Amino acid sequence: MVGALVVLVVVVVLGSAVARLYNGLVARRNGYRNAYSQIDVQLRRRHDLIPNLVEATRAYLKHERETLDAVVQARAQAEGAARGAAAAPGDAGAMQRLAGAEGALSGALARLVAVAEAYPDLKANGSVAQLFEELASTENRVAFARQAYNDAVMEYNVGRESFPASALAGTFGFTEAAPYESASETERAPVRVAL
């Protein structure tokens, strides 16, 4: 009888420990998914600003159609990559595609800003200046959201890789989460707006 009671206590203690480990991993996974949703909100805001910016600058930049088309195309690719990353936050391939597409969009926007600076009438236009200011503000928000997401991913990965959770993480399907990193230092710099 005492032996059965000892076995029961051991089973309850081990079960409780496994449940705590499992619940801790679930909480951390939900934490980085929630952090990614903040990136998603800011990327949507950024993507929504771009058509307004293109339309507002179109009249001034009649001879710069290629620049405007590049921004529109880069936006479409970034939106697709963002949808893929939102469906699988933490997936390494989705995060790499997102970083590449957002980097291309940042490059296209930087070219638009450079071209816009050559047009004094455009620089003086209040609504265009406001759109560029909103874009710059959104770039900062994306950077802050990306940092929060990467911190949450790091916390999840450390928890997943720490013993004894590491012994059970694979069994329960907790795979490594990928951070959201830019492909190069130039992509990490926010779009500079100086109208």
Least confident of 8-22, 40-54, 177-191: 177-191
Q: Would the pLDDT of 26 be above 50?
A: yes
Q: Would the pLDDT of 155 be above 60?
A: yes
Residue 142's closest CA among 43, 71, 5?
43
Q: In angstroms, rounded to a whole number, what is the distance separating the alpha carbons of residues 166 and 157?
A: 10
38 Cβ contact list (under 8 Å, min separation 6): 145, 148, 149
Q: In angstroms, rounded to a whole number, what is the distance separating the alpha carbons of residues 68 and 23?
A: 49
Question: Taking a C-beta distance cutoff of 8 angstroms, is the pair 149, 179 a contact?
Answer: yes
Token reading at 101: 């597409």
Q: Is the pTM of this model over 0.75?
A: yes
Domains along the sequence of the chain with CATH = 18-188 (1.20.1440.20)
Instruction: Give all strands (DSSP E) within the chain, no chain letters.
Output: none
41-90: per-residue pLDDT in tens? 999 999 999 999 999 898 888 888 899 999 999 999 999 999 999 999 99
Q: What is the pLDDT, as a whole number, of residue 180?
A: 95
Question: Taking a C-beta distance cutoff of 8 angstroms, is the pair 156, 30 a contact?
Answer: no
